């Protein structure tokens, strides 16, 4: 959790600014707020890092991806290609908008592959929701021709990839709209927060309306504002934005330290030829929040994970059994257990989620062990972690 490692006087100062005015609401109250606009400053810092023309801070990354989908025109009955490896919020957002998730294969980038997208296409496919996972990025040179060939809408969930880029373009900015998460576990945190980004003015204005009950935010009297569209409440508070602002300013430093520490760890682990690494489509664009190890086969990874647990080695995820990020454990989606009926339960789906055949994804995630990179590690801590990982991996070799 790199962002939380660097909590300090900067966050306290930004929070104090808000508390001194007493205005926790992000809009209006101009005469009382002493020109303190933390949400706006937060958005500007995100724009500086990503190069986005427009950014809108919202209450969380889930709201950000829902806004990105909605303002890109995704709605009831639209088929949206999605990956089986993502925070479940991505799938929830598609479902809540009434659209139909269509799962496709990922590759060794841990993201949707161009061939996976091609194979999942149907005559009703409208969009691809591309998720940039574990601090890295999808192979955009192979994916964008598929998007253009089939005239698809591209929406990006870069919740785990703020600060990452592909050949100079930030994740989240290849499609019509994108999203980032600033929850407690990200490279920068607002506690709870998210940011919608786009380079299209019309899409931004729709998001600005959509995320605040349809308000147009014109004028100084909220009660007299017009409502161009129907929206909902995805606003961020000034307190959360204050934390996000201070944290986002630290991202260039965090990213640089992450990259240095990750490089050292890779060098130490590379002595074991059975330890490989997930492919970075653009190594120069890595946010380096995760070291993604690919073992030779799932059984090797499973037994290594058992050894890591037995030896008290922490700080890793074995996504194959993770309840939150991989489709194997999403029984509530496979069985469509809902609080109230969703459009998909009326319209039906092109796939039976309980019988999906995604062998490439199963093998990749079965082989994957991800370690969170810390920007505050010392060289000694990195060396000790590498020794622990090597010890646990080498103990498996004779048995597999």
pLDDT at 38: 98
pLDDT at 80: 98
For residue 70, give the nearest of 43, 41, 99 by alpha carbon: 99
Query: Please, is 199 exposed, middle or buried when counting C-beta atoms within 10 Å of its C-beta (0-12, 13-18, 19+)?
Result: middle
CATH 3.40.640.10 positions along the chain are 2-250
pLDDT at 399: 60
Q: How far apart are CA 15 and CA 29, in angstroms?
A: 18
> pLDDT (tens digit, 9 = 90+) per residue, 19-38?
999 999 999 999 999 999 99
CATH number of 252-397: 3.30.365.10, 1.10.10.10, 3.90.1150.10, 3.40.30.10?
A: 3.90.1150.10
Structure tokens at 392: 């646990």
CA dihedral 74, 76, 78, 83 (to 10 degrees): 80
> pLDDT (tens digit, 9 = 90+) per residue, 83-106?
999 999 999 999 999 999 999 999
pLDDT at 398: 57
Beta carbons within 8 Å of 267's beta carbon, 6+ residues apart:
none
Residue 2 or 184, more confident? 184
Q: Are 212 and 235 in contact (CB under 8 A)?
A: yes
Structure tokens at 163: 């600060």
> pLDDT (tens digit, 9 = 90+) per residue, 159-218?
999 999 999 999 999 999 999 999 999 999 999 999 999 999 999 999 999 999 999 999
Residue 148 has pLDDT above 80, yes or no: yes
- 276-277 and 290-294 as β-strands: parallel, antiparallel, unpaired? antiparallel
Which pLDDT band, with edges at 50, 70 and 90, does 369 fall under? very high
Give the residue-averaged pLDDT of 349-358.
96
For the domain made up of 2-250, the CATH class stated in words is alpha beta
φ/ψ of 82, rounded to 5, equals -135, 160
Return the axis-axis angle of helices 298-310 and 359-367, rounded to nearest 10°: 30
pLDDT at 121: 98
In sign, the C-alpha dihedral spanning 10, 12, 17, 23 is positive
Average pLDDT of the chain is 97
> pLDDT (tens digit, 9 = 90+) per residue, 35-67?
999 999 999 999 999 999 999 999 999 999 999
Structure tokens at 139: 């192979």
Active site residues: 186
> pLDDT (tens digit, 9 = 90+) per residue, 292-339?
999 999 999 999 999 999 999 999 999 999 998 999 999 999 999 999
pLDDT at 397: 67
pLDDT at 2: 79
CATH 3.90.1150.10 positions along the chain are 252-397
Beta carbons within 8 Å of 356's beta carbon, 6+ residues apart:
84, 103, 327
pLDDT at 3: 80
């Amino acid at each position: 959790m790199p962002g939380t490692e660097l909590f300090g006087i900067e966050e306290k100062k930004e929070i104090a600014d808000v508390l001194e005015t007493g205005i926790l609401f992000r809009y209006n109250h101009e005469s009382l707020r002493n020109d303190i606009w933390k949400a706006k400053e937060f958005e500007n810092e995100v724009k500086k890092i990503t190069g986005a023309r427009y950014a809108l801070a919202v209450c969380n990354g889930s709201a950000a991806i829902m806004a990105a989908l909605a303002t890109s025109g995704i709605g009831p009955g639209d088929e949206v290609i999605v990956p089986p490896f993502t925070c479940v919020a991505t799938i929830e957002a598609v479902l809540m908008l009434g659209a139909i998730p269509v799962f496709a294969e990922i590759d060794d980038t841990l993201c949707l592959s161009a061939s996976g997208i091609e194979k999942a296409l149907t005559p009703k496919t409208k969009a691809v929701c591309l998720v940039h996972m574990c601090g890295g990025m999808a192979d955009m040179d192979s994916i964008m021709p598929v998007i253009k060939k089939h005239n698809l809408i591209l929406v990006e969930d870069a919740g785990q990839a703020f600060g990452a880029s592909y050949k100079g373009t930030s994740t989240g900015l290849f499609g019509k709209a994108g999203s980032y998460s600033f929850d407690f576990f990200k490279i920068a945190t607002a506690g709870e927060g998210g940011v919608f980004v786009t380079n299209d003015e019309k899409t931004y204005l729709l998001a600005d309306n959509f995320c605040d009950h349809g308000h147009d935010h014109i004028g100084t009297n909220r009660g007299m504002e017009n409502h161009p569209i129907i929206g909902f409440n995805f606003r961020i508070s000034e307190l959360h934005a204050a934390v996000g602002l201070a944290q986002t300013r630290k991202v260039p430093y965090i990213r640089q330290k992450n990259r240095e520490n990750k490089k050292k760890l890779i060098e130490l682990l590379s002595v074991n030829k059975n330890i490989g690494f997930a492919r970075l489509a653009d190594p120069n664009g890595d946010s380096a929040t995760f070291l993604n190890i690919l073992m030779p086969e799932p059984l090797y990874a499973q037994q290594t994970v058992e050894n890591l647990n037995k030896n008290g080695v922490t700080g890793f995820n074995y996504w194959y059994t993770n309840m939150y990020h991989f489709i194997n454990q999403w029984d509530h989606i496979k069985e469509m257990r809902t609080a109230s009926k969703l459009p998909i339960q009326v319209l039906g789906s092109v796939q039976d989620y309980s019988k999906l055949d995604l062998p490439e994804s199963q093998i990749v995630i079965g082989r994957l062990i991800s370690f969170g990179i810390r920007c505050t590690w010392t060289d000694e801590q990195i060396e000790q972690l590498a020794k622990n990982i090597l010890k646990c991996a080498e103990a498996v070799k004779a048995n597999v």
